Amino acid sequence: MKLGGRVAIVTGGGRGLGRSIALRLAAEGAAVAVSGTGREHLDATAHEIVAAGGRSLAVVTDVASEPDVVRMVDATVREFGRLDILVNNAGIAGPTASVTDTRCEDWESTLAVNLTGAFLCAKHAIPHLGAQNRGRIINITSVAGRIGYAMRSPYAASKWGMIGLTRSLALELGAHGITVNAIAPGSVRGERIAKVVRERAASLGKSAADIEREFYVEPTALKRMLDPEEIAGVALFLASDEARGITGETVGVTAGFRL
């Protein structure tokens, strides 16, 4: 197994993309702590990992809260004895609105979860990752972190910021054997993108089907959205020894979204 004996934290690991990443890392031998704000989903993911013969821990965590993050990291190391991999996946969609119609509190809450949360998790995971001299940090950003995204400015800004955080951490941590990379997915099927499509459709007076086709399917080379497992496979690669020479990079998995 590619990750035998290693320990990972996957934030936002209870459902959607985070769940797929947690299951993929566990299938390759990693013990996986899943964190998020919903106990039911976390427990379900952890149970699925254990039922398949793996090891897992569910920790209810608000990544925007530093005490919560400290508790999550401590619980993981206490349970499994070490930490090798951090996947910063937790995030929220934020509002679908023009800048003039976006409330300041919605801007701040989006950046608090999507960007500050990644910073806090890295900050408190790094001392443990460095002890292994082959630590991995994988930040889940977005194609929105590389382009302008009308009516989604808080989300886009948070994802641009995550790319900057990735590059800065890679420079800081390379001497300690820790690699830091980001994955920039395109549109991944699931609850979040479905909600975004509905909100954009409502704001523009169009049908959800038209919005999905015009904004999220037609601009891609493959003419489709992505499945979460396609992102999980790249996360596994970046977590493995095969990617030990890659750091500071942002890997696009976008179905060929036209930038």
Catalytic residue check, 155? yes
Decide the pairing of beta strands 250-253 and 179-185. Answer: parallel
Separation of first and last alpha carbons in the chain? 36
Return the sign of the alpha-carbon dihedral for residues 26, 30, 31, 33: negative
Dihedral in degrees, nearest 10, Cα atoms 11, 87, 44, 38: 10
Q: Tell me how long the chain is.
A: 259
- From residue 116, alpha-carbon distances to 14, 16, 208 in Å are 20, 21, 32
Q: Which of 80, 107, 155, 216 is catalytic?
A: 155
As annotated, the active-site residues are: 155
